[in-house]
Structure 1
Amino acid sequence: MADILIINGIVVTMDPQRRVIENGAVAIEKDRIIAVGTTAEITAAHEAATVIDAKNKIVMPGLIDGHAHAGHGFIKTMGGGDSQQWYDACGAAYTVASTPEFWRAEARLAALERLRFGVTTGVSLLGGGDTILRTDEPVYGDAHCEGVREVGTRSVVAVGPTRPPHPRTYARFVDGKAVERPVSFEEQFATCQKLIETWHKSHGGRLNIALITPTLRKEHAQDLGAADLAEARRQAVMTADLAREAGLVFTQDGHNNGSVAYAMELGILGPSALLSHSTDLTADEIRIVADTGTHIAHNPSAIASILGRCPVPELLEAGANVCLGSDATAPDRSGDMFRHMQQCMHYHRTYFKDPTWLPPGRVLEMCTIDAAKALGMEKDIGSLEVGKKADVVLLDLRRPHLYPLNMPVFRLIYFANGNDVHTVIVDGRIALQNRKATFVDEDEILDDAQRETELMLDRTGFHYMLETPETFWKHVRATDQIEN
């Protein structure tokens, strides 16, 4: 007997045949899918205590976000478009002005956002990038993972050492006061090892740890100096080696022209490597990515994709695997993967001045089955197939922007948004039902997020970053000079 039957839906399987089953059904037992087929076939063979009627709904695998940042949920929009102010806010908040309570509250908020948008699995870097990761002590990563666990989504939390030189200054709060201390590479590395031991593949495999090391680009080779550059190279290799030994995803943030070739020289690429952004790659670097089996996380809505272009079609044609990321939730984007699928199509079609590039099914692959492959999870998630984990999303088609009810898969990708998600099942557990989280109190999460953000602002004195800039209205560019 099954535990859950989903019947009468339009089942978008994302299986190898990319079957779309009209009036389809999915049977779930414990945390696994045990049958996929027509409603007539499945109901004839299975009964269940819980039956979900998916009439007028898409039934699809949970979406996967290949790249995002923990902490950003409390920083988004700060600085009002001033990138330097926004980076300053991240730097202070993530190193000297955050507590475990901050990280737990932000993790719950971000996980709830993902859940309500049908994102059942997401990568989250524990901080604002490769130079401000909160890896001075395990307690911050513990708090983040605990927050995600409460909401019930699946997560890959990326932790690692910051860029040399070390030590880096961090602060813990004792009796409400910040106590600063220097933190070495060795301490950060030990933090990562402890988080791996505590959290990797925990809670039924919903929580996982990845390792990240700073991306080395041309400017770093020039600016670090010979000794620090040599140390950065040593640390990168050491971190990548630990990822391979522990069977973890190894990721790097902010790749662009030249940095992939440099990573190749270090020997840190391969099937467990996931490189984000990867803009303006050379033809040789595209070939390196494909030949090494390295994966790319494309973030079409990110500022990096304004400053450069990730050559996604060229990578795909070369045989590389590319997944989609939100780079959320800052400074100007959400975790809604429907938004990023649509942005991805327009981004590359505009570049080629040709609307035939990246058909909609291709971008759906990038945040389901291809993203699962990038995370080394393709045997468990990314499609609705017998034996896979029961990560399932029901999306309500009975909405004005999705009607009339024809060509449903086209409408799913071109017109749907995260707020159309009705029900979400993660690991066989109903985590969202009728657009309401089942394991947590949403109001309590929102109130906690507000409180912890205000405390962070009090610690940093960054309240002024919440002011609307004078160029917000009646200006063509935010950098226009203000007349006195």
Structure 2
Amino acid sequence: MTSHAITHTTAITMDAERRVIDNATVLFENDRITAVGPAGEVPLPATAEVIDGRDMITLPGLIDSHAHAGHGLTRNLGGGDGDAWFQACETIYTRGSTPAFWQAEARLSGLERLKAGITTCTMLLGGGADHYRTDTVEAGNLHSEATREIGIRTMLAAGLNRRPFPKTYRSLDLDREVSLSFEDQLEVCAELAQTNGDFLNDGAGVCLIMPVYSPEDFAQAPEDIRAMCRAAMDLREKHGLLFTQDGHRSGSIALAENLGILGPWAYLSHSVDLTPEDMAAAKRSGASIVHNPSAIMSVLGRCPAPELREMGVNVALGSDAAAPDRGYDMFRHMAQCLHYHRRHFRDPEVMMPRDVLEMCTIDAAKAIGMEADLGSLEPGKKADIVMLDRRKPHLYPPMMPLTTVAQFANAADVHTVIVNGEVRMRDRKTALDEAGILDAAAGELNAALARCDLSHLLVE
């Protein structure tokens, strides 16, 4: 049995008492935490490998509840022209991408997440409800394999496009046109779920996603939309999948409840400009809300995260990375969340550092039904642990660890990352071919732009 001890650290546990322990010891054996407490109360096993936590803040691995596969390569395209960027994503993802593109992007975004202290992330397999790459299992399998290589966890949201069908894709070998039906996508999602279902042990899991339909959308095709929802829920129930959606607003959550696609297994992203009926539906159903404070939707509308939390709705935090103006730095998103709501209420105490830390640790674990295994430093939970180097000017003097993490830290402060009890990064060094990952990403983007005649989008 392999035993490790993190010693002399400041531990932000996020346990039920939300303990913050100075001069703490965190023990873990193999992939599970066995003890967390003050140094004098946790005896060190004689065989334990000691990880010195002096000048470190130790916290649970961060959980990003909403991001997009593909965007890691396209994040800067268009120089701020959002419409051009979105159209480029759709063109590349559905007609100009190859297996090498999806592999390079998955490795790049995985490396970025690892180095930012994100040990768990929900990744949508494509840019949105018009171009999920589920015409074949290949892109999803490549992303899951990259997750295993990097050594983190990904809940891959494999999904169903917006009606009407069929959709036209170009095959990943670029050799033929593919006519994609709703039923085709259901089959691909089912196969991905069967082959990538060991989320807690090897890091690759699959959840189901389908488009958000507004009341106006529903009025145009109520029977078609009800039938698609029933089919999606049948698949979800058959395979025991989680369910997520991207882009709720203005009556769509109340409609989702009416359509029978809400439950404690659902987590709903963006969720801006909600009606009272939407908020009540989230509460009744037990669904979680994913707040993306740095996203464009949160500029165009507002997610009432503090109000939802106050009424007992579970709220997690998402990066919506990596495009077109944001990355995977959850510390930045925590600070953005604080300022977003404080500005709205003109009250500097509306959200506090502990609140936003909960939203990307224990509350995010609840959103994916994993609070028994992830989201806090407690005996019995998975050893997913992040250590921040606080021996830096912007993190000093060494005091107020909650405020330090939520308001002053950034991804570059992540020193050590442990996932499943395995040290995946130490002193910001990994065992990965980081240069190769970066070079492949650059090469695959340039190749995709050339194939799609989009190289002009590189001009700022």
Q: TM (normalized to structure 1)?
A: 0.93
> Which among 233, 243, 252 is matched to residue 236 of structure 2?
243
Q: Deviations over 1:159-186 (max 9, x none)?
A: 0111111111111144xx4421211111
**Quick one: structure 1 residues 403 and 98, their matched pair in 2 at CA, closer, same or farther if it must change by over 3 Å?**
same
State the partner residue of 1:233. 226
C-alpha distance in structure 2 between counterparts of 1:47 and 1:326, whole Å: 41
State the partner residue of 1:60. 59
**Quick one: structure 1 residues 372 and 427, their matched pair in 2 at CA, closer, same or farther if it must change by over 3 Å?**
same
State the aligned residue count. 460
Q: Does 1:34 align with 2:38?
A: no
Alpha carbons 1:211, 1:240 under 8 Å: kept: no
State the partner residue of 2:205. 208
- Give the CA deviation at 1:292: 1.1
- Residue identity opposite 2:82 in structure 1: S
What secondary structure does 2:256 align onto? helix
Q: Deviations over 1:96-128 (max 9, x none)?
A: 111111111101111111110101000000000
- Give the CA deviation at 1:245: 3.2
> Which among 280, 283, 286 is matched to residue 290 of structure 1?
283
Structure 2 counterparts to residues 186-201 of structure 1, below 5 A: 186-201=183-198
Q: Deviations over 1:445-474 (max 9, x none)?
A: 101111111111111111011111xxxxxx
> Which among 333, 358, 372 is matched to residue 340 of structure 1?
333
- Give the CA deviation at 1:63: 0.4
- Which has the larger displacement, 369-378 or 285-294? 285-294
> Which among 451, 456, 461 is matched to residue 443 of structure 2?
451
- Give the CA deviation at 1:317: 1.0
C-alpha distance in structure 2 between counterparts of 1:251 and 1:93, whole Å: 24
Q: Does 1:397 align with 2:394?
A: no
Structure 2 counterparts to residues 18-29 of structure 1, below 5 A: 18-29=18-29
C-alpha distance in structure 1 between counterparts of 2:74 and 2:348, whole Å: 35
Alpha carbons 1:163, 1:232 under 8 Å: kept: no
- Residue identity opposite 1:277 in structure 2: H
- Which has the larger displacement, 233-242 or 427-436? 233-242
State the partner residue of 1:139. 138
State the partner residue of 1:181. 178
C-alpha distance in structure 2 between counterparts of 1:216 and 1:423, whole Å: 42
Alpha carbons 2:65, 2:364 under 8 Å: kept: yes
| Gapped regions of structure 2 (runs ≥ 5) | none
State the partner residue of 1:319. 312
Q: TM (normalized to structure 2)?
A: 0.98
State the partner residue of 2:302. 309
- Residue identity opposite 1:447 in structure 2: D
What secondary structure does 1:437 align onto? coil
| Gapped regions of structure 1 (runs ≥ 5) | 469-484
Q: Deviations over 1:187-207 (max 9, x none)?
A: 111100110010012571511
C-alpha distance in structure 2 between counterparts of 1:292 and 1:370, whole Å: 16
- Give the CA deviation at 1:49: 4.5
What secondary structure does 2:69 align onto? coil
State the partner residue of 1:330. 323
- Which has the larger displacement, 241-250 or 403-412? 241-250
C-alpha distance in structure 1 between counterparts of 2:442 and 2:202, whole Å: 30
What secondary structure does 2:80 align onto? coil
What secondary structure does 1:66 align onto? strand
Percent identity of equivalent pairs: 50
- Which has the larger displacement, 408-417 or 233-242? 233-242
What secondary structure does 1:316 align onto? helix
Q: Considering only aligned residues, what root-mean-square deviation do their CA atoms show, in Å?
A: 1.3
Alpha carbons 1:214, 1:236 under 8 Å: kept: no
C-alpha distance in structure 1 between counterparts of 2:336 and 2:49, whole Å: 37
What secondary structure does 1:17 align onto? coil
C-alpha distance in structure 2 between counterparts of 1:323 and 1:108, whole Å: 25
Q: Does 1:351 align with 2:383?
A: no
> Which among 436, 442, 445 is matched to residue 434 of structure 2?
442
What secondary structure does 2:205 align onto? strand
C-alpha distance in structure 2 between counterparts of 1:116 and 1:47, whole Å: 31
Alpha carbons 2:93, 2:126 under 8 Å: kept: yes
Alpha carbons 2:124, 2:156 under 8 Å: kept: yes
Alpha carbons 2:147, 2:203 under 8 Å: kept: no
Alpha carbons 1:296, 1:322 under 8 Å: kept: yes
- Give the CA deviation at 1:408: 2.1
- Give the CA deviation at 1:50: 2.2
Alpha carbons 2:5, 2:44 under 8 Å: kept: no
- Give the CA deviation at 1:41: 3.0
Q: Deviations over 1:366-394 (max 9, x none)?
A: 00000000011101000000000000000
- Residue identity opposite 2:242 in structure 1: V
